[in-house]
A and B are shown apart, each in its own frame.
Chain A
């Protein structure tokens, strides 16, 4: 099984652990296969070990335990400069004493490339990020977005097959960030490179990636394509971390035919899809997306269990209505409804009944 994987995995983390101080593990048992050409994003809260993983891959940190393989070869003992991995740093790390062209020419020079070839490649790389006119400037004379592009061009100019990016857009404003997100993915797919991208911005992760690895506490909580991650979170951390989410706590009453009946702490019964629960009596945290909650009874199956809810707040957001409810002792239960001509606008204080399709409600770990 492991052998099979390693054949088509371009990058492979094999039971990797990392500790800085010999007391706590910052990365605990990391297993990850990245096929060639994939755009993989590491997403997770601050301090979850994303940068550490990237640094181990780049060779600036050594794994305390385990193997990191690149193209089927263990790179544990290969120094960073021989790994041939392109890297974009969060602060860009453009060399301030060199011009843009010299910055780009640097990786080619250390590879002993001839002058004319170098110039041609530098020009091509700069044109690729639409920075052709700026070759003679110094990094300090560029705007943040322009520096970002140059950093990208520099990481790509020596044609690495693998490029690592650590929060490369963190310093940009929202609009520019969205534009660059598109440009980076576009470029990555055009060049067919493998990208490992680190961010703690979930929108960025969802829009850019082929797959997202959600990190928490030094472990990958779930690794899946963006849609699966959003719609089928495998544990309550992922459900909470990705997108907006409602949680209710309770105990499993019975499981049958792929359905779980959960008794909430308030006594109410609801139908769920069992994900991390296997037998009655287990505590669970059920997760339901705000846009999957229904309060039009006619759209629910007649035998569905319903919950009583009190409207606390109604927020008009233009394209959607966002309503805060009090449900089964949870005052922060959110529902979202589309702004359509026939849509009901709930009034604060109003008593309603809500329900959902059992498949949309996931019974996860407690």
Chain B
């Protein structure tokens, strides 16, 4: 049978080659599936993929210098910033020409604050110079070199020009370097001065505290999941409601409740003072620090640990424990050698879930974290809404996203995320 058909293609009932007709029928199925998910696809595209894409783009995009000072950028190309000498008159002329236009278009403040991210003082330099330069005429008032240095002696410092040149590229790694406490300089990537190195520390703290929170969730969640999985159905349902209860309460409310609990005049301190365990003038500092963040976030993320653990534990039949005991294992050995290894996928799933959630958490650290209990995401928020350094915020966000994606990949390896199949 196979011998006969090996040479030629199989023909379907309508005379078309079988393969083609199969592909056609599958095609239709795929189209139908695609139509069903189209609303979601479009929604995700608009609300998720585009913003993330534009954010990623913003972390390297740097056309402002080129756009605002085009002639200067060209003129600066011939200047060797490592020579220690000032650029020649052509550069100054080009700059003044560019700058007059920029001031007319009111763009000088923007480029000022852009360069101010790199070196403070740039913003005021640009604003101060603008007031003088806008009265000049690019043809009659030349040469500009000494005039400009008269306006502000910083123009006579090669470093100022070096900054403009270094950050004149259209796509920069400068934000990413900043995000890891380095900077883009004429000599290449270099470490930031000691006192400005805070972001790596913040990253490390974020990871460390997320790990502690994950660990706490494992310790507190495992017994609960175990009880849930082993209780008779009715009581298990009751307990499940208690576990899920936090989900039905606003995150803000829960976090604020922790504020009530933990603050200096809060429930816990009051109780301890009332019991005489702590004297009134030595109330415990358990909020606005790392302890506060860890406590509140452990509580908030606990269900995300319990649920995957529970679903894994539910699939472990009680007969394994019984078998182990009948083979002579004590309760502890039976648990440790037989039950625990089988529950590890649940711990893994829960841990990765909690860790990923924790590492990007914002609200809770913001409310109960004080200064030393905040996360990298709070810094991102600061750069987005206060310092307006969106490029740096985007770079920090991109690094965070990369960390999470790596974790997601690990999650897939360990637990396996069901593939979404199109048709």
Contacts and interface: CB of A to CB of B under 8 A. Distances in A.
B322 A106 contact: no
B342 A80 contact: no
Interface string A141-183: 0000000000000110010000010000000000000000000
Interface in B364-414: none
Nearest to A80: B325
Interface of A: 58-60, 79-87, 89, 91, 93-97, 106-107, 110-111, 154-155, 158, 164
A141 B89 CA distance: 81
Interface stretch (B4-12, B40-48, B152-160, B326-334): B326-334
A91 B317 contact: yes
20 contacts: A60-B325, A79-B331, A80-B326, A83-B326, A85-B326, A87-B323, A93-B319, A94-B323, A95-B320, A95-B324, A95-B342, A106-B324, A106-B329, A106-B337, A107-B327, A107-B328, A154-B327, A155-B327, A158-B327, A158-B328
A335 to B, nearest CB: 45
A155 B327 CA distance: 7
Interface of B: 317, 319-320, 322-331, 333-334, 337-338, 341-342
A110 B323 contact: no
Given A93-B323, A106-B329, A155-B326, 18 more contacts: A79-B331, A80-B322, A80-B325, A80-B326, A81-B325, A81-B326, A81-B330, A81-B334, A83-B326, A87-B323, A89-B322, A95-B324, A106-B337, A107-B327, A107-B329, A110-B329, A158-B327, A164-B326
Contacts of B328: 81-82, 84, 107, 110-111, 158
A110 B333 contact: yes
Contacts of A97: 341-342
Contacts of A79: 325, 331
Q: Which 4 A-B pairs have the closest CB atoms?
A: A107-B327, A93-B323, A87-B326, A93-B319
Nearest to A90: B319
Contacts of B333: 110
A81 B320 contact: no
B23 to A, nearest CB: 36
Given A96-B342, A97-B342, A106-B337, A91 B319 contact: yes
Q: Which of B317, B326, B333, B334 has the most CB of A within 10 A?
A: B326
Q: Is the interface of A mostly helix, strand, loop or mixed?
A: loop
Contact of A93 (B317, B329, B330, B337): B317
Q: Is the interface of B mostly helix, strand, loop or mixed?
A: helix
A141 B22 CA distance: 35
A106 B331 CA distance: 14
B329 A89 contact: no
A11 to B, nearest CB: 15
Contacts of A94: 323
Contacts of A95: 320, 323-324, 338, 342
B231 to A, nearest CB: 15
Nearest to B338: A95
B325 A93 contact: no
Nearest to A84: B328
Contacts of A107: 327-329
A191 B145 CA distance: 107
A95 to B, nearest CB: 6
A80 B327 CA distance: 9
B107 to A, nearest CB: 65
Nearest to B337: A106
A154 B329 CA distance: 13
Contacts of B323: 87, 89, 93-95
A164 B324 CA distance: 14
A110 B341 CA distance: 17
B342 A106 contact: no
A87 B341 CA distance: 22
Nearest to B322: A60
A158 B327 CA distance: 8
A28 to B, nearest CB: 24
Contacts of B334: 81
A80 B341 CA distance: 22
